[in-house]
Amino acid sequence: MDEAKWYALQTEAGKEVVAKENLLKVLALEELEDLVEEVVVPAEERVVIKAGGKEKYRLSLHGNNRDISVLGRKGVTTFRIENGTVRVIEAPEGDTCIEAPPISKPGQKIVCKENKVEAKIILDSKMFPGYILIKAKMNDKLLRVIEKTPHIYRPVLVGGRIAPIEEKEVERILNFVKKGVKPTKVPFEKGDQVRVIEGPFMNFTGTVEEVNPQKEKLTVLISIFGRLTPVELDFSQVERL
């Protein structure tokens, strides 16, 4: 049988995770699991930490290990992000979340009820909204099943035919998804001159006014209609001049 190759499948935007789950169920039902090695949503796994219902941190699940402390209703709760898992290592007396098992997958969360603090793993920073990737030994039957799966429209076609993705491109995507970004230091500081490379302010230039390394965001002063306007952007949306 042919070697498994990577293909891009077009999905309903915002339904990438549901499309993946539906596909896995259909593959099991049709007994086609042996043809598919992996299904991936091209997004980064992140940890969202909230206190009192308000988001305090949004960090990569992967990369550098770290301890994050947040102040809740009854004191400090500390989460440890380590080797792709999240667990509680410190909590106010009486808060049973200290005994909660580690979490490691999107959708899982740890809730510290007494302190009104929680940590949840999500899929964030989608690289290709409206697409998922599948590594499979493609044949006509599998193709028909894919096209009938809810929230999946069709495989990406080249010249009217389904075509695999280049291996180098897949490696780049998977490196981002599975390893995350591992910065050795905060890439920007106040006063830096930057250019916006993504989003509605693309190609605008401005000055960094504030840096939030925990959320990987920065505030840039951009001249809009002759007035300096503060704009909040992700680190990935700008480059230093």
Do residues 151 and 33 both lie within one domain? yes
Do residues 157 and 38 both lie within one domain? yes
Residue 186 lies in a domain: no
Per-residue pLDDT reduced to its tens digit, 215-225? 778 999 998 76
**Mean pLDDT confidence for 96-114:** 94
Residue 18 tokens, joined: 């549901």
Q: Facing residues of 210 across strands?
A: 219
Least Cα distance to 4 among 136, 134, 129 occurs for 136
Residue 169 lies in a domain: yes
Least Cα distance to 237 among 218, 210, 212 occurs for 218
Residue 188 lies in a domain: no
Q: Which domain-ending residue is among 80, 104, 120?
A: 120
Residue 64 lies in a domain: yes
Residue 185 lies in a domain: no
The CA distances from residue 35 to 30, 83, 139, 157, 220, in Å, are 11, 30, 9, 20, 48
Do residues 140 and 26 both lie within one domain? yes
Residue 82 lies in a domain: yes
Per-residue pLDDT reduced to its tens digit, 16-52? 889 999 999 999 999 999 999 999 888 878 899 999 9
Q: What are phi and psi of 144, to 5 degrees?
A: -65, -40
Percent of the chain with pLDDT over 70: 93
Residue 187 lies in a domain: no
Per-residue pLDDT reduced to its tens digit, 117-129? 999 999 875 667 7
> CA neighbours within 13 Å on the CB side: how many for 216?
18
The span from the CA of 65 to the CA of 75, in Å, is 23
Do residues 79 and 136 both lie within one domain? no
Least Cα distance to 223 among 206, 239, 210 occurs for 206
Total number of domains in the chain: 3
What CATH number is associated with residue 229? 2.30.30.30
Question: Which pLDDT belongs to residue 182?
Answer: 41
Could you tell me the sign of the dihedral formed by the alpha carbons of 50, 16, 13, 212, in that order? Answer: positive
pTM higher than the cut 0.85 = no
Residue 22 lies in a domain: yes
Instruction: Provide the domain limits for residue 172.
Output: 5-43+125-179
What CATH number is associated with residue 56? 2.60.320.10
Q: Which domain-ending residue is among 73, 89, 120?
A: 120
Do residues 63 and 98 both lie within one domain? yes
